[in-house]
Structure 1
Amino acid sequence: MTTSPVVFIHGLWLHASSWEPWLSLFRERGYEALAPGWPGDPGTVKESREHPESIADRGIDDVVEHYAAIIAELPGRPILIGHSFGGMIAQKLLGMDLAVAAVAIDAAQIKGVLPVPLSALRAALPVFKNPANAHRAVSLTPEQFRYAFGNAISEEESNALHERWSIPAPGKPLFEAASANFNPHSPAKVNTSNQGRGPLLLMTGGQDHTVPESVTRATLKQYRHSTAVTDIMEFPDRAHSLTIDSGWQEIAEAALAWLKNQSL
């Protein structure tokens, strides 16, 4: 087994501490695991809610540079596991040869992916309804969180997850991703043609409103010009909360099994 550390990268609206169950499981299985927050993220959910200005106006490039600096301090190139926008960041870093492998779970849309399903637009509406939100941090109400994350679980569980893990999120990455196909220098561009990169697993929840399965399958097609390993795994009954809800361990075990198959 490799001794590559595992770096977990959260997405919008979730605090880095939402990876705690994953960290425990991966450490039990012999991995060194860490889950650093995005640049500006306070240390706790409470502080994040009290100081949204510290999170605001952080774009994709800011986040990539932040994690690249963290990786540079590690003893070796890590395995990256990212959810939502964290999945996009993981793909960018893998394409830059800064990781040995990546698992991108319900990863945000990269440049070149064309389908924008109505459910994805509705999930992002709390941000898109005001252009000024590009420079702000925006919170989700419990109802908005249920539509974007918790639509495949009970309302009670969704509300509990919102209370436990949800934090304000910078609007900037969403605006950058939305305009990616009109910007030749978009920060949402990933080096999908890198032949020498490590293996990539794309995971998708079949009930996901925020990153529907069609987006993940379109992402897979973006890698068609690379001979590097690119796999996809679908969980038909799961939605965007799949990394944090009561079924999280099924997703984590699937990631662990895939890593083992890659001799990682």
Structure 2
Amino acid sequence: MAMEPVSFSESGGIRYLHFGSELIQGAMRMRDPDEIYLEYNQQMMAWLLFLETKPGMHAAQLGLGTGALTKFTHRHCPAVKSTVVELNPSVIISARTMFFTPDDDRRLETLQLDAKAFVCNSKYKNVFDAVQVDLYDAICDGPSASSLDFYQGCFDILKSPGVLTVNLFSRHKSFQVNLNHLCEAFDNRVLLFPESHDCNVVAIAFKGPILNVEWKEVSKRAKVLMEKTGLPTNTWASGLHRENAHQESKLFI
């Protein structure tokens, strides 16, 4: 199968990743390579709102891009091991050479694999505390993995409790298809962030015990996260509260 060509551009101190078109597949601020520059990418770290990191935790990143999530986890979550799944070898090389993603070590494993095959492999069943899905091709008209089987696989590789975050494209017919499959696989335990730039909407899905928590506690946790990591999490609780029906009095999902 032919892989999409990888190219780069720079403007105003930002380096961008492209897959054979002008569409942006990722970005990095040159003076702060470990910062997560794009808002939707920042929201992909929202599993940290619901899971306290501790030794032995394992996160999977499906789709490497510029390595923004990988770098952030490696730097700010030293107790967490990351497994990155990326099919295109050129993306793996460019993440390391152009976007300063670290080489594999005892906390980082990179697999050149199809994410659809990865989530259906029984050896990964109940392995990961968090799974982050950002799988797009050059056309960018919706996630390149969107079937019910794929999302069921994501559910299966999560531990209980476990949290999935996934980047969806809101203004395309793929959005409702992905959302329906995600809700079916996760028994409707899905929250949406408000739409961010370029029509990205990050969904959060939950596996395990029911969450029953006051929104003020979520806000408090978000503030701690911002202080620890620099992520601009101060609007996360209010955005989730506002965007999701039946969550008005407290977060119950």
* TM > 0.5 fold call: no
Higher relative contact order (CA 8 A, sep 6+): 1
- Which structure has more helix as a fraction of its residues? 1
- Shorter-chain TM-score tier: 0.3 to 0.5
**TM-score, normalised via structure 2 length:** 0.37
**TM-score, normalised via structure 1 length:** 0.36
- Which structure has more strand as a fraction of its residues? 2
